[in-house]
Amino acid sequence: MLPTRTLLLVALAAALAPPSWAEGGGVRPEDARPPGLLLLQERPGLGGKQAIGIYGAVADAKTPGLWRIKLWDEQPNDVKVRSETIRCTPSAPMRVTSDGPNLYIRELNPGGAITTANHIDHLVWWATCFPEQAGKDPAGLGPLARQLGYSGSLRESEQIVPGRSR
């Protein structure tokens, strides 16, 4: 069995190693961004850029205010694309997302308090429902939310629906 210090050094070396694309192993994630991507957040991360954006928004034909989008989650050496559903109605704004095995149903409160726990939810919601606000800090959009008919006093909640084990 390896000593703890050796394991820590191996883990640190792996984290600091250049991504495979930097060694000629492929395309940089930022170069693979799809056309029409609305970039919501980009920041430096360990090993390169991290970015979140949405694209491919399609309105539901039967339910007004319901949208299906693709979420682009870019890490320095990996990209995940998730299909999400966003509801834009003032009475029940919502984001439905997943992490693979679990489904997350998040009831939102546009115009309410923005925290680290709900910041990405609101970035995605605003970019989907009001694309002209894409990338703006949702903490500063409270007055606009109320002007658009959102009370700012809804209760935010999250339901986690576990998926089947594989």
SS3 92: coil
Per-residue pLDDT reduced to its tens digit, 45-97: 888 889 999 999 999 999 999 999 999 999 988 899 999 999 999 999 999 99
Cα 145 from Cα 138, distance rounded (Å): 10
Task: List all residues 6 or more positions away from 111 whose beta carbon is below 8 Å from its beta carbon.
Answer: 141, 142, 143, 144, 145, 146, 150, 151, 152
Per-residue pLDDT reduced to its tens digit, 46-58: 888 899 999 999 9
Looking at the structure of the chain, the number of domains it has is 1
Per-residue pLDDT reduced to its tens digit, 4-57: 443 333 333 344 444 443 444 567 888 889 999 999 999 998 888 899 999 999
CA nearest to 89, candidates 150, 144, 143, 138:
150
Cα 26 from Cα 94, distance rounded (Å): 37
The three-point CA angle 42-43-46 to 5° equals 130
Res 25: pLDDT: 53
| Residues 35 and 56 sit within 8 Å (Cβ to Cβ) | no
Res. 162: pLDDT tops 80: yes
Q: In terms of DSSP bridges, do strands 157-162 and 78-87 run parallel, antiparallel, or are they unpaired?
A: unpaired
Measure Cα distances from 33 to 55, 74, 121, 159 in Å. Answer: 10, 9, 21, 31
SS3 164: coil
Domain that holds residue 155: 4-162
